[in-house]
């Protein structure tokens, strides 16, 4: 039978062990929280750093915009408003102008990495811009079919309009590619973060023992 002194000693030892266990659990919890913070910070930094291909795609979108929208789009809009493009109502100039402005907004959003919003704006820009472009091409085709024209420049006018304005589709395509890349990177980040978080507690326990 244990003496009172031995019982008190055993009780003190038990309390000491419980205290150590509580401290150990608290330390593990702290390590887990700190680990999650580090993982989150790492993931944020990784998301901010895009692959070089994204920058190349954005530059290509800018080049297409300068060629089709800014230059030839601007020439066409001025031509319609000034009456140099015969038989075309001013509303088609407004359609193309709205498309030019929205396409610029879409590209700016690309550089701010707002790819979903950019793609939506891009769709609206393409619809408005190409509404006028399609109208001009069909009008020229109809003119060529109904009239006997021998001028080589006029004979290829519909193709000229296509070469000038149809590249605008490229901005929409490039925006779609950027959106897909962004979604894939987000999914991979989510998987990596989830894997690291699942493994982090196990690692902490092993390291602390």
Q: pLDDT for 3-37, tens place per residue?
A: 666 666 677 677 777 777 777 777 766 665 555 54
pTM score, whole prediction: 0.70
Whether the per-residue pLDDT at 202 is higher than 60: the answer is no
Answer whether residue 21 is part of any domain. Answer: no
Note the Cα 182 to chain centre separation in Å.
5
Would 201 be classed as within a structural domain?
A: no
User: Is 87 among the domain residues?
Assistant: yes
What pLDDT digit, counting tens, does each position of 123-172 carry?
999 999 999 999 999 988 887 777 766 666 667 788 889 999 999 999 99
Q: Let me know if residue 97 belongs to a domain.
A: yes
- Per-residue confidence (pLDDT) for residue 128, from 0 to 100: 97
Range of the domain at 153: 53-193
Residue 63 located in a structural domain:
yes
Q: Is residue 45 part of a domain?
A: no
As a whole number of angstroms, the distance between CA 94 and CA 98 comes to 6
The per-residue pLDDT for range 29-70, each reduced to its tens digit, is 666 555 554 444 444 454 568 899 999 999 999 999 999 999
Nearby residues of 90 by Cβ (< 8 Å), 6 or more positions away:
80, 81
CA separation for the pair 179, 167 (Å, rounded): 19
**pLDDT by residue (tens digit) across 80-120?**
999 888 889 999 999 999 999 999 999 999 999 999 999 99
Closest among 100, 90, 112, 118 to 177, alpha carbons compared: 118
In a domain, 28, yes or no: no
Number of C-beta neighbours around residue 95 at 10 A = 21
Domain count, the chain: 1
Q: How far apart are CA 151 and CA 148, in angstroms?
A: 9
Residue 137 forms part of a structural domain = yes
């Amino acid at each position: 039978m244990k003496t009172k002194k031995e019982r008190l000693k055993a009780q003190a030892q038990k309390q000491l062990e419980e205290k150590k266990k509580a401290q150990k659990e608290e330390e593990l919890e702290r390590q887990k929280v700190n680990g999650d913070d580090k993982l989150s910070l790492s993931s944020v930094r990784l998301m901010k750093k895009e692959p070089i291909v994204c920058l190349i795609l954005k530059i290509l979108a800018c080049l297409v915009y300068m060629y089709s929208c800014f230059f030839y789009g601007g020439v066409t809009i001025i031509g319609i408003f000034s009456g140099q493009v015969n038989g075309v109502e001013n509303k088609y100039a407004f359609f193309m102008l709205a498309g030019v402005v929205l396409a610029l907004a879409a590209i700016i959003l690309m550089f701010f990495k707002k790819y979903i919003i950019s793609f939506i704006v891009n769709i609206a820009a393409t619809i408005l811009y190409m509404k006028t472009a399609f109208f001009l091409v069909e009008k020229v085709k109809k003119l060529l079919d109904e009239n006997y024209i021998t001028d080589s420049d006029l004979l290829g006018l519909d193709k000229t309009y296509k070469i000038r304005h149809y590249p605008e589709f490229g901005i929409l395509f490039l925006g779609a590619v950027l959106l897909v890349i962004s979604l894939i990177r987000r999914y991979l980040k989510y998987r990596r973060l989830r894997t690291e978080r699942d493994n982090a507690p196990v690692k902490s326990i092993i390291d602390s023992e």
